[in-house]
Structure 1
Amino acid sequence: MADPIVRIGIGGWTYAPWRGDFYPPGLAQSKEQAFAAASFGAIEINSTFYSRQSPASWARWAAAAPDGFHYAIKASRYCVTRPKLANAGEGIGNFYAQGLTKLGDRLGPTLWMLSRHRQYDHDDIAAFLDLLPAKLGDRTLRHAIEPRHESFRDDRFFKLATDRNVAVVFGDHDEFPCIDADTADFAYARLQRMREVVSTGYDESSLAAFEARARRWSADGRDSYIFLINGSKIRAPAAARALQQRLGIARG
């Protein structure tokens, strides 16, 4: 059995304030994705929530990333915003049919981010989780679900996710509850409370706590994906690098 892998990253790679800060001065915009992919173990792609991408784009993104790197893909809003998630089957099929196979072994987990207003409905969530495909071509898929309502703090939900090996997102956010539950053979964290006045986004005590959590997931035999994505986004690369350094997995 392979040793657990910790992949730390940011959300996307196109953000103007990173130019001259994270990205070296003069770096061509066409090379920013490759620079970001070389710097981190994973990137969470947000644009897929809003629109489809072409097979050529997926292939280009795969080519820009080094071996061992993973893209986490935020699933389409057309799948997760409908009144009944149990009716999302066609949307899920269309989402995976847009060319994700072009990512090959760069394909990481799919993030299913639920509306802040969606409350826990046991039968609907069970039906939705049953719709999530186990494979895409010959690649086993990993799924992470991010509930953003307190009603999901429910043992019945945790059992549904555990039985289907779906990770419940560990979220550090000012507005949404952190529903902390280990339900899969991997972990997925979204850290969204960085502050611009802190050079590393999070202070040392917060980074130490995230480091300890990552080490605990590894000790439990879980791979983990940890994304620094919001709050003061300008600090996301610095925060991700600081956490990598703490864990001894610095890149770039």
Structure 2
Amino acid sequence: MRGKAWIGTSGWRYPPWRGEFYPKGLPQRRELEYISRQVNSAEINGSFYSLQRPEYYRRWRDETPPGFVFAVKGGRFITHMRRLRDVETPLANFFASGVLALGDKLGPFLWQLPPTLPFDPELLVDFFDLLPRDTTAAAVLAGKHDERLEGRALTEADAHRPLRHVLEVRHASFVDPTLADLLRANGIGLVAASAAADWPYLEDVTADFAYVRLHGETELYTSGYSDEELDTWAERLRGWMAAGFDVYAYFDNDIKVRAPFDAIGLMERLGMR
């Protein structure tokens, strides 16, 4: 079967977008509603910086149309501060913070590693073993939250659904022939990161989906993608989809308001608009 594609931006609340991508006078509270009618997915970035609340996730779910999908970025407390060690309780808190309120709009969980964390297979496997692979397991894990989430936790799922996890690596030591096999053995996806040569570019598809983050072709977070570059990415995505892989692609080149327009351009090339 041919895979499906979800394409969008990494986050959606950026002041420079107002009056450039978002129409002048559009209330900030309606920005997600607006962009979700232009693209069919978005990464939630706020979850990386702090634990969100169930009511936030419910609002995001309700403001977007049927079929829209959110990727959820794992907390930096887990990836950057604890560096994947001793994270059982932080993971429980993360999954209790409301992510299950997204319901059928819940897409992959993105675990972005810091550029100072080198490839450590044993550490990764221990972390992967803790990750819930379906919403039922996520609800059980959420129930193990600590007192920080008392009175604000969501520990139930509306249905039993599989969950996807993807890893974004940024240390040069991950350019290792054993990485792809390790991820495949654990059912974890690998981000193909277009990052102006700042971080490793790895294109192995290690799960039943591919995941792309486009941070800027020549200047990190800033440069847009030319017509030729978007053509090339569209061809890559077509190849993965033809092979039966679902594809998620998010533009993170937001500084000069390129991300939403590049996402729309990629969707147009794939016949999605």
TM range (shorter): over 0.9
In the other structure, the counterpart of 1:77 is 76
Aligned partner letter, 1:247: L
CA contact (8 A) 2:252 2:259 kept: yes
Bigger mean CA offset, 14-23 vs 214-223: 14-23
In the other structure, the counterpart of 1:143 is 165
Change (3 A) 1:231 1:19: closer
For normalisation by structure 1, the TM-score amounts to 0.92
What is the distance in 2 between the residues matched to 1:95 and 1:145?
17
Shift of 1:85: 2.0
Aligned partner letter, 2:195: H
What is the distance in 2 between the residues matched to 1:32 and 1:194?
26
| Superimposed CA distance per residue, residues 150-174 of structure 1 (whole angstroms, 9 cap, x where no aligned partner) | 2112232211211122110000102
Change (3 A) 1:97 1:143: same
Aligned partner letter, 1:37: S
For the residue of structure 2 that corresponds to 1:14, the secondary structure is coil
In the other structure, the counterpart of 2:174 is 152
For the residue of structure 1 that corresponds to 2:189, the secondary structure is strand
In the other structure, the counterpart of 1:109 is 108
Change (3 A) 1:178 1:195: closer
| Superimposed CA distance per residue, residues 88-112 of structure 1 (whole angstroms, 9 cap, x where no aligned partner) | 2221121111111110011110000
In the other structure, the counterpart of 1:134 is 133
In the other structure, the counterpart of 2:27 is 28
What is the distance in 2 between the residues matched to 1:186 and 1:114?
19
Shift of 1:213: 0.7
What is the distance in 2 between the residues matched to 1:87 and 1:169?
24
CA contact (8 A) 2:194 2:217 kept: no
1:249 matches 2:272: yes
Question: Where do 4+ consecutive residues of structure 1 move more than 3 Å?
Answer: none
CA contact (8 A) 1:10 1:228 kept: yes
Aligned partner letter, 2:237: A
Q: Percent identity?
A: 39
Bigger mean CA offset, 120-129 vs 74-83: 74-83
For the residue of structure 2 that corresponds to 1:180, the secondary structure is coil
For the residue of structure 2 that corresponds to 1:21, the secondary structure is coil
Aligned partner letter, 1:85: L
What is the distance in 2 between the residues matched to 1:24 and 1:152?
42
Which among 156, 180, 183 is matched to residue 206 of structure 2?
A: 183
Unaligned runs of 5+ in 1: none
CA contact (8 A) 2:195 2:218 kept: no
Shift of 1:214: 0.5
Aligned partner letter, 1:224: V
CA contact (8 A) 1:195 1:232 kept: no
Aligned partner letter, 1:99: G
What is the distance in 1 between the residues matched to 2:23 and 2:218?
22
Which among 238, 242, 246 is matched to residue 261 of structure 2?
A: 238
Bigger mean CA offset, 85-94 vs 157-166: 85-94
1:163 matches 2:163: no
Unaligned runs of 5+ in 2: 137-159
In the other structure, the counterpart of 2:124 is 125
What is the distance in 1 between the residues matched to 2:27 and 2:93?
34
Change (3 A) 1:27 1:194: farther
Change (3 A) 1:49 1:233: farther
Which among 210, 225, 241 is matched to residue 248 of structure 2?
A: 225
Change (3 A) 1:84 1:58: closer
What is the distance in 1 between the residues matched to 2:168 and 2:229?
21
In the other structure, the counterpart of 1:215 is 238
For normalisation by structure 2, the TM-score amounts to 0.85
In the other structure, the counterpart of 2:156 is none
What is the distance in 1 between the residues matched to 2:183 and 2:217?
29
CA contact (8 A) 2:195 2:217 kept: no
| Superimposed CA distance per residue, residues 12-46 of structure 1 (whole angstroms, 9 cap, x where no aligned partner) | 12111111211112222211111111111110111
Aligned partner letter, 1:176: W
